């Protein structure tokens, strides 16, 4: 068994043992809706940027960093990786490598989060962050044909005021036609959930909605179903990222089903990062589908758990005994939940449906 970098010494049946040999899902065109661009940073890039920007790493081998016993423990490492991004060129490099790597896994469209709160607090300009990401991603799109939108994520740890300031600055840049801002199509919210009421971020979401931005939020990775309801009722989100306890509330389950609210689920991340379940086979994803929920499959932070989306699909298929036809249905859910326009969705649906299973 090749152990993912996020391995924490759990039962060896946590992740299907030979999922890395199941390469047929690489050819299946896939959409990814829950992926943090900072969490796609190659280990070699972490070391290079840390050296260049004077960031001390506790080890010369970043794979030694990738051990997590909880979501908050993971966030400490995520923030350290983030801190290596010091310049517009660094963001451009990250954006380019992120899309190139995604394309190699069969990702044809991605909607990536970026979380700039720590960089803005340290004096970076949001304009440089966005322009850098756009520059790198545009070059990679030309090379690979894979497309990428950006979602500006509010970092809960910095509080509602910083969240509103982020949205207001983004809206200001968009109105000025600043480079790359057309790629930023939405606003989200991530970081720690414990002890934080999502309703306190309503002013930021109201500002984003008024500016025509799409809305999502990380909720339910380590918070109850009631917090998901708050995100729907108070923040007005169109998608929910993670949403693990959605099935705990029958009324919420019915609402999410009937309103076709997209849930961007990250099964392996929930094992290796949040430690929410002992094994992938224990994940509620099959029950979400049985309940008629629009749950897409995503990686979350692929470089930090050493798992591309092709391997994520393979692991899920093996854990739940799903065949190629079922995984095609999973891929189509990703398209439906995306923020692509209807013409682009139609093209992708046809492309996915026409893809034959690899030998």
What does the CA dihedral 225, 230, 231, 234 come to, rounded to 10 degrees? Answer: 170
The H or E element containing residue 268 is: helix 267-272
Neighbours of 328 (CB within 10 A): 15
Secondary structure of residue 35 in the 3-state scheme: strand
DSSP state of 120: H
How far, in Å, CA of 313 to CA of 308, rounded? 9
221 labelled catalytic: yes
Secondary structure of residue 33 in the 3-state scheme: strand
CA-CA distances (angstroms) from residue 304 to 37, 40, 181, 296? 11, 7, 27, 20
Tokens of 239: 């998608």
Task: For the chain, report the end-to-end CA distance as a whole number of angstroms.
Answer: 22
Is the CB of residue 126 less than 8 Å from the CB of residue 162?
no
221, 311, 312, 318: the catalytic one is 221
Q: Is 104 exposed, middle or buried (0-12, 13-18, 19+ CB in 10 A)?
A: middle
DSSP state of 300: B
Q: Please give the positions annotated as active site.
A: 221
């Amino acid at each position: 068994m090749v152990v993912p970098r996020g391995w924490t010494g759990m039962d060896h049946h946590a992740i299907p043992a030979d999922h890395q040999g199941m390469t047929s899902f690489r050819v299946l065109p896939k959409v990814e809706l829950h992926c943090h661009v900072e969490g796609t940073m190659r280990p070699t890039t972490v070391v290079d940027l840390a050296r260049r920007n004077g960031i001390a790493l506790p080890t010369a081998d970043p794979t030694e960093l990738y051990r997590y016993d909880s979501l908050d423990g993971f966030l400490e490492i995520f923030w350290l990786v983030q801190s290596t991004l010091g310049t517009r060129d660094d963001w451009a490099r990250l954006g380019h490598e992120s899309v190139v790597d995604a394309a190699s896994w069969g990702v044809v469209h991605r909607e990536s989060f970026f979380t700039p709160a720590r960089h803005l607090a340290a004096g970076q300009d949001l304009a440089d962050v966005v322009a850098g990401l756009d520059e790198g991603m545009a070059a990679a799109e030309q090379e690979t044909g894979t497309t990428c939108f950006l979602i500006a994520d509010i970092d809960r740890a910095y509080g509602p005021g910083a969240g509103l300031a982020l949205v207001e600055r983004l809206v200001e840049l968009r109105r000025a036609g600043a480079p790359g801002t057309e790629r930023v199509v939405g606003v989200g919210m991530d970081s720690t959930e414990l002890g934080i009421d999502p309703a306190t971020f309503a002013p930021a979401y109201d500002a984003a909605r008024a500016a025509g931005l799409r809305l999502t939020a990380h909720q339910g990775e380590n918070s109850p179903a009631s917090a998901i309801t708050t995100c729907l009722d108070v923040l007005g989100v169109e998608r929910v990222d993670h949403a693990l306890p959605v099935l705990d509330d029958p009324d919420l389950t019915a609402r999410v089903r009937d309103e076709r609210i997209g849930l961007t689920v990250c099964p392996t991340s929930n094992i290796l990062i949040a430690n929410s379940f002992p094994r992938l086979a224990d994940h509620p994803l099959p029950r979400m589908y049985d309940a008629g929920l629009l749950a897409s499959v995503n990686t979350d932070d692929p470089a930090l758990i050493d798992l591309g989306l092709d391997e994520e699909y393979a692991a899920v298929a093996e854990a739940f005994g799903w065949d190629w036809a079922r995984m095609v249905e999973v891929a189509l859910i990703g398209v439906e939940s995306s923020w692509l326009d209807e013409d682009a969705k139609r093209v992708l649906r046809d492309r996915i449906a026409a893809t034959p299973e690899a030998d």
